Chain A
Amino acid sequence: MGDPKEITALQATTILISTIIGVGVLPLPLFAVRAGETSAPFVTLTGVFLAAIGLMILTYLGIRHPHKTIITYSQDIIGKWLGKIFSIVVIFFFLILSSLTAREFGAVVVTAVLRETPLEVTVIVMLLLAAISCRNNINVFAYIHNLYVPMILAPVLIVVAFSLKNANLLYLRPIFLGNDLWNMAGGMLTVSALFQGSFIITMIIPAMKTPKKAMKASLWGILISGGLYLLIVIATVAIFGPEEIKQIFWPTLELARTTAIPGNILQRLDIIFLAVWVLAVFTTLFSSYYFTIHSIKELFRLKDHKVLSYFILPFVFFLAMAPQNVLHMYEIIQLIGRAGLLITIIYPAFLLLIDFLRSWRRKKNVAKPS
Chain B
Amino acid sequence: MYIGYLNYVIVLCWVTGGLILLTDVKAYKNASLKKEQKVSKFLGLVNISIGFGLIAGDFIFSHFMW
| Any A CB within 8 A of the CB of B19 | yes
Task: Say if the beta carbon of A298 comes within 8 Å of chain B.
Answer: no
Residues on A with C-beta less than 8 A from B8 are 120, 124, 317, 321
A360 CB–B CB distance under 8 Å:
no
B16→A307 contact, CB < 8 A: no
Mark interface residues in A304-328 (1 if CB within 8 Å of B CB, else 0). 1011101101100110010000000
Contact with B along A1-41 (1 / 0, CB 8 A): 10000000000000000000000000000000000000000
Q: Is B33 interfacial (CB 8 A cutoff)? A: yes
* B57 → chain A closest CB, angstroms: 13
Residue in A closest to B7 when the chains form the complex, CB atoms: A120
Asked if B60 is at the interface of the complex by the 8 Å CB criterion, the answer is no
- The chain B residue with its CB closest to the CB of A306 is B24
- Chain B residue total in the interface (Cβ 8 A): 22
A307 in contact with B13 given A120-B8, A314-B47 (CB within 8 Å): no
The answer, yes or no, to whether A302 is at the interface (CB within 8 Å) is: yes
CB atoms of B33 and A304 under 8 A apart: yes
* Contact residues in B for A165 (Cβ distance below 8 Å): none
Say yes or no: A303 contacts B43, CB within 8 Å. Answer: no
- A310 — which chain B residues lie within 8 A by C-beta? 16, 19-20, 24, 47
Instruction: Decide if A306 touches B16 in the complex (CB within 8 Å).
Output: no
- Residues 9-47 of B, flagged 1 when their CB comes within 8 A of A and 0 if not, give 100110010011000100110010101100110011011
Q: Is the CB of A311 within 8 A of B47?
A: yes
Find A307's partner among B5, B12, B39, B50 (CB 8 Å cutoff): B39
**CA of A302 to CA of B28 in the docked complex: distance in angstroms?**
12
Which of B16, B31, B35 is in CB contact (< 8 Å) with A313?
Answer: B16
Q: Is the CB of A302 within 8 A of B12?
A: no
Fill in one digit per residue for B44-55: 1 if any A CB lies within 8 Å of its CB, else 0. Answer: 101100100000
Cβ of B9 and Cβ of A307 under 8 Å apart? no
Q: Chain A 277-315 against B: per-residue CB contact (8 Å), 1 yes, 0 no? A: 000000000000000000000001011101110110110
Given A311-B43, A311-B47, also A304-B13 (CB < 8 A): no
Q: A304 near B28 (CB under 8 angstroms)?
A: yes
Within A95-146, the residues touching B (CB, 8 Å) are: 120, 124
Report the separation of the CA atoms of residues A279 and B31 in the bound assembly, to the nearest whole angstrom. Answer: 34
Known contacts A1-B31, A304-B33; is-contact A314 B13 (Cβ 8 Å):
yes
User: What B residues does A308 contact at CB under 8 A?
Assistant: 43
Residues of A within 8 A of B33 (CB): 1, 303-304
Counting chain A CB atoms within 10 Å of each CB, the highest count among B5, B13, B33, B43 belongs to B5
The distance in angstroms between the C-alpha atoms of A98 and B9, with both chains bound, is 16
- Enumerate 6 A-B pairs (CB-CB under 8 Å) in ascending A order: A120-B5, A303-B35, A307-B24, A311-B46, A314-B47, A318-B5
